[in-house]
Amino acid sequence: MGSAEPPVADGELQFIQHSAARTRVLDAALELFAVHGVSGTSLQMIADTVGITKAAVYHQFRTKNNVVLAVTERELGRLAPALQEAEAHGDESHARDALLVRVIEMAVRDRRLVRTLQFDPVVVRLLAEHEPFQRFMERMYRVLLGETGVDGRIQGAMLSGAISSAVMHPLVGDVDDDTLRAKLTDITRRLLDLPGDRR
Amino acid sequence: MGSAEPPVADGELQFIQHSAARTRVLDAALELFAVHGVSGTSLQMIADTVGITKAAVYHQFRTKNNVVLAVTERELGRLAPALQEAEAHGDESHARDALLVRVIEMAVRDRRLVRTLQFDPVVVRLLAEHEPFQRFMERMYRVLLGETGVDGRIQGAMLSGAISSAVMHPLVGDVDDDTLRAKLTDITRRLLDLPGDRR
DNA sequence: GTCTATATTATGATAGAC
DNA sequence: GTCTATCATAATATAGAC
């Protein structure tokens, strides 16, 4: 591992502070990923967006894959504090609700990024292959769903997709953030209460 | 428009019969798109999977984009009969339910393809840019949602994502088709009834 | 319908100067 | 931290023979 690059996705996911230059690259990459997908985004496009050359990007990240990793890690890591708070919370039901609110908040605010983080094939493979990501998502679902039988897992899958889709779907492109957040929170809460009133 | 290629996505979406050679290409393309995404899939990969050369693929489709178009058109077109039936149905509520069942059926059966058709950036752009696709999706949502205020659109966005996600999420990878279809139908019906019992 | 061969451009990646 | 220059490879696409 080179001296320029921080450890990538080993240990627990957390907030990671990047240098200004790296942050510019990651911001540009994320924005481009959202529009063209990861595979449809070249390092040249990223470099052009930042206003530097490819070589300068390679000074910050050894491979394109490391850019994808860093982006995914950074964005997922933004949920880490909310997750930790929820896990520390005494009341299970309140913890779930609090985390849900934070997840919806982030999804609504960063609508454009949701498709990339949840559905891009490259990111999906990353999430499946790297243990820290898996562990993080497991913790998320443990809080959001409680114990996970078949019903709970189907429910969780639907929930995650419903939230994602609700913020990125063309149907709701013109709905403002506040309205969307409110409706989404409301419907999601009811969805979680559906099968047998599990509260 | 060349003599070898059929009209692509003008007029209404419908079942389209392709030649055996074209069908082989489209099948391979769809399978590869599902794994690597559209941008992550090259014509070389498609050719290799079919067992022919790139040139042979180009004999069937003038550009890669036309392959993507044809794939999208073919798969979406498979819902056309169900949509027409539903539109012809007298009772609005029964029509909605019948279409829903067909959509879920197809989503569950072709789990691997859902991510591509619903979320791949290239396909999403296609759907947004080509009128026939837009018109088709409008008709789908008209039947599934009835009149479309803000609430209905948010609900529709959630519904589409919830179904998609429920069939493609790692959480439900080991759930068999029958179980998944049953639970999904059940939860979806309840989701549609949620805000103010709109039946 | 499929092939070989080729043109053109873009891609991920590296070396070394400033 | 950024640059110019370069490399090897892979991409989309075409021409023309069988």
Tens digit of each residue's pLDDT (9 = 90 or more) over A44-87: 999 999 999 999 999 999 999 999 999 999 999 999 999 999 99
**Which positions of chain C lie under 7 Å from any protein Cβ?**
1-5, 10-16
The reported pLDDT for the residue numbered A121 is 97
pTM score, whole prediction: 0.94
- Using the structure, give the distance in angstroms from the CA atom of A44 to the C1' atom of D10, rounded to a whole number: 16
The reported pLDDT for the residue numbered B176 is 96
- CB contact burial A43-73 (16+ within 10 A = b; e otherwise): bebbbebbebeeeebebbbeebeebbbbbbb
| Yes or no, beta carbons of B37 and A194 under 8 Å apart | no
Q: How far is it, in rounded angstroms, from Cα B164 to Cα B114? A: 6
How close A23 comes to chain B (CA, Å)?
24
Chain A CB contacts of B45 below 8 Å: none
Residue A182 touches partner B, C-beta closer than 8 Å: no
Structure tokens at A182: 């409110």
Beta carbons within 8 Å of A71's beta carbon, 6+ residues apart:
A26, A29, A30, A33
Mean pLDDT of A109-132: 95
| Yes or no, beta carbons of A157 and B151 under 8 Å apart | no
Which residue is listed with tokens 């042979």? Answer: B56
| Yes or no, beta carbons of A195 and B187 under 8 Å apart | yes
Q: Which of A45, A42, A35, A34 is nearest to A75 (CA)?
A: A34
Distance of CA B56 to the CA centre of its chain: 27
Residues in chain B predicted with pLDDT less than 50, given as ranges, are 1-3, 196-199
Lowest mean pLDDT among A22-26, A107-111, B154-158, B187-191: B187-191
Tell me the percentage of chain A whose pLDDT exceeds 70.
92
| Yes or no, beta carbons of B121 and A128 under 8 Å apart | no
